[in-house]
């Protein structure tokens, strides 16, 4: 799988570290924190994911990937 790093260009996925779903936002109350850490969706289809280019520019990015086909639809640096 190739990931289009916005800074480095097309790179092999082995250069990256996968973090997971980019959608959940860290909650401010403790009651919701358990769900934030342990309860995650596992969608089949388009998903926004956090990836870290560990063996490249060392930037975090959001990659739009289809989990069924592994087709990448784009990537953007996180802010
Ligand atoms: Zn990069």
What is the 55 CA–ligand 1 centroid distance (Å)?
8
Going from the Cα of 56 to the center of ligand 1, the distance in angstroms, rounded, reads 5
Q: Percent of the chain scored above 90 by pLDDT? A: 86
Cα 7 to ligand 1 centroid, rounded to whole Å: 5
C-alpha closest to that of 70 among 51, 52, 44: 44
**What per-residue confidence (pLDDT) applies to 41?**
87
- DSSP-derived pairing of the beta strands 17-21 and 46-52: antiparallel
Q: Which long-range contacts (CB under 8 A, 24 or more apart) does 36-45 make?
A: 43/67, 44/68
- Contact predicate 42/30, CB 8 Å: no
User: How far, in Å, is the centroid of ligand 1 from the Cα of 31?
Assistant: 36
**Annotated domain spans of the chain:** 2-24+45-77
Q: Which CATH number describes the domain made up of 2-24+45-77? A: 3.30.2270.10
Question: Is the model's pLDDT at 79 over the cut of 90?
Answer: no
pTM: 0.87
């Amino acid at each position: 799988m190739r990931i289009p790093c916005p800074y480095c260009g097309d790179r092999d996925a082995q250069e990256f570290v996968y973090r997971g779903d980019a959608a959940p936002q860290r909650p401010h109350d403790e009651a919701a924190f358990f769900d934030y850490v342990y309860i995650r969706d596992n969608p089949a289809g388009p998903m926004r994911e956090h990836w870290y280019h560990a063996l490249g520019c060392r930037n975090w990015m959001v990659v739009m990937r289809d989990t069924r086909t592994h087709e990448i639809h784009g990537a953007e640096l996180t802010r």
